[in-house]
């Protein structure tokens, strides 16, 4: 049985590289039993999608084009 710390590291790694079969089995064996790790996976997936959309210009910078620091003058 792997700890949540190990599984969250693997979930993060999975965003950047394919997991080995052993790593995949560890993740998929753990997720059905752990709502915290399932929530973490949802959150990092959402963050990655939003960052990608922002980089592609689908989402505008919330600070606006004239306010790079995020504070209005």
Q: How confident is the model at residue 60 (pLDDT cuts 50, 70, 90)?
A: confident
pLDDT over 70 at 61, yes or no = no
Per-chain mean pLDDT for the chain? 87
User: What is the structure's pLDDT at 55?
Assistant: 83
pLDDT above 80: residue 21: yes
Q: Which is higher by pLDDT, 2 or 19?
A: 19
C-beta of residue 44 within 8 angstroms of C-beta of residue 11: yes
Can you tell me the mean pLDDT for 1-24? 95
| CA gap 8, 27 in Å, rounded | 9
As a whole number of angstroms, the distance between CA 46 and CA 44 comes to 5
User: What pLDDT, on a 0 to 100 scale, did the predictor assign at position 41?
Assistant: 97
Domain ranges of the chain: 4-55
């Amino acid at each position: 049985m792997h700890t949540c710390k190990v599984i969250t590291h693997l979930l993060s790694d999975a965003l950047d590289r394919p997991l080995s079969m052993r790593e995949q089995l560890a993740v998929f064996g753990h997720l059905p039993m752990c709502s915290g790790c399932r929530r973490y996976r949802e959150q990092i997936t959402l963050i990655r999608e939003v960052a990608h959309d922002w980089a592609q210009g689908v989402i505008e910078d919330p600070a606006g084009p004239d306010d790079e620091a995020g504070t209005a003058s």
